[in-house]
Structure 1
């Protein structure tokens, strides 16, 4: 009888342990992290929230609760939280003073990261890792960074037979540039150069040289930043009167005329001086003959 009771007790104990293990496995499998499925787009020098959340199971406790954000490309620590406070001793210098969490939202499963003062080098992959008594899980957030192009500046350079237009602006990433003549839809192929600035942006410089015969055009320049769906369209017209064109063409000719005229005057002056010298010499000879007689 006693052995039956003992066997029954051991069976219940074994079943109880199985239930505990099964419950723990169920809770661990159910714990998960949710992050955005598509890449986030941040604007240079602005702030952005990298979303990350976990499903709260049962009573939430900060005990053994850990959050770690880091870059997947190089494992740099972006922000860490455990023992009930931020742990920034191992934080990368690149992110110093620029990150924060929402401690009041932890109980709701919100472990999103705020990143201030976005830089070009912030673009990349961020891993959100969460660990607690409920389990542990991680997810990856993709971030892209862009900067709107500034209002372009126009410079015009007049030559004798052509006009050069220079457009400059600044933004990120590299933009597409198109030039067109509105009257005949003629598309030009300008020179486009990009130079990187100290803060990682691009300075755009587009140069277009056209013959004076095309100055009748209403020129259209378009700058496209596809990452932020930005399009800048500017239209301008340079009118050069016929007299102005003649003057422009005549600048080289007039210079040539002045050079020829100066040479002519110098030669004429030299001839006159030579004639005067010869006349004086001739008079001296005649005087000498008269005195000798």
Structure 2
């Protein structure tokens, strides 16, 4: 009886000593870049009984499996096909980290690392959040008779904070359009600030707080309203002249055809 109790205690101690942990409970993954989901376990040099399974916690989809000392991907979700790998050379050290190549929006969510070997079985949970750096803002300027409009366009994720500042760092009113997510999981941003003065000195600022991205693009320019008006007048005159020339050419062509017919 004593030996039976002793064996049970020893087994309990061995099982209690087995542990599966994730160094970081939360991972921020950036669009298009690889993400490494860390997972560590109590190692056993003998890998013949090692089973490592990564799966999505929300629906138990298999992300990656390893047993019989090799990858077993028959049940792997198609969304992760040819995109995942383990650090096989590190398994004997207790490293069950998963690498996901080229992160996509739908990779965000909860992941479970499940490990089993001769020392026990355990699991650990972690969350992956997705973010995308905003692209270089594209500048365009629209001029009409009453105002000048400065516009920036860019794409990223999540929704950003947008600020327009004047020459003396005063907040300016602006128009902001945020279009729904594309297939790449990006928001399309278009922001327009209208300026009334001949001399423009304003700054467009976009902040992606999730990725600590801060884009600032100053716009400094000047335009002569009189020159603009003169250009409009000149263009109008040229348009009239072109129309008159076309009319004259058509009239001469008609006269020539009439002469040819009369000579016949």
TM-score by length of 2: 0.83
By how many angstroms is 1:189 displaced? 3.3
Q: Counterpart in 2 of 1:281? A: none
Cα distance change of structure 1 residues 183 and 215 upon mapping to structure 2, 3 Å threshold: farther
Match status 1:30 vs 2:17? yes
Cα-to-partner distance string for 1:262-281 (whole Å, 9 max, x where unaligned):
xxxxxxxxxxxxxxxxxxxx
Residue correspondence of structure 1 range 87-236 to structure 2 within 5 A: 87-183=72-168, 185-210=170-195, 212=196, 214-236=197-219
The answer on 1:78 being equivalent to 2:66 is no
Where do 4+ consecutive residues of structure 1 move more than 6 Å? none
Equivalent residue pairs, number: 236
Change (3 A) 1:138 1:184: closer
Q: Residues of 1 paired with 2:38 and 2:102: CA distance?
A: 17
| Cα distance between partner residues in 1 of 2:205 and 2:169 | 16
After superposition, the CA RMSD in angstroms is 2.1
Contact 2:198/2:224, CA 8 A, preserved across alignment: no
Separation in 2 of the partners of 1:247 and 1:180? 31
Give the whole-Å Cα distance in 2 for the aligned partners of 1:184 and 1:81: 57
Structure 1 segments unaligned to the other structure (5+ residues): 1-13, 259-293
Deviation, 1:83, is: 1.6
Q: Partners in 1 of 2:147 and 2:180 — Cα distance? A: 26
1:39 aligns with 2:26: yes
2:221 to 238, 248, 263: 238
Distance 2:145 2:186 in 1: 36
Residue 46 of structure 2 aligns with which residue?
61
Q: Paired residue for 1:283?
A: none
1:18 equivalent to 2:5? Answer yes
**How far does residue 247 in structure 1 lie from its aligned partner after superposition?**
4.6
TM-score, with structure 1 as normaliser: 0.75
TM superposition shift of 1:244? 3.1
Q: Is the 8 A contact 1:195 1:204 kept in 2?
A: no
Residues 1:29 and 1:68: Cα distance change in structure 2 (over 3 Å): same
* Unaligned residue ranges in structure 2 (runs of 5+): 241-264
Structure with a larger share of its residues in helix: 1
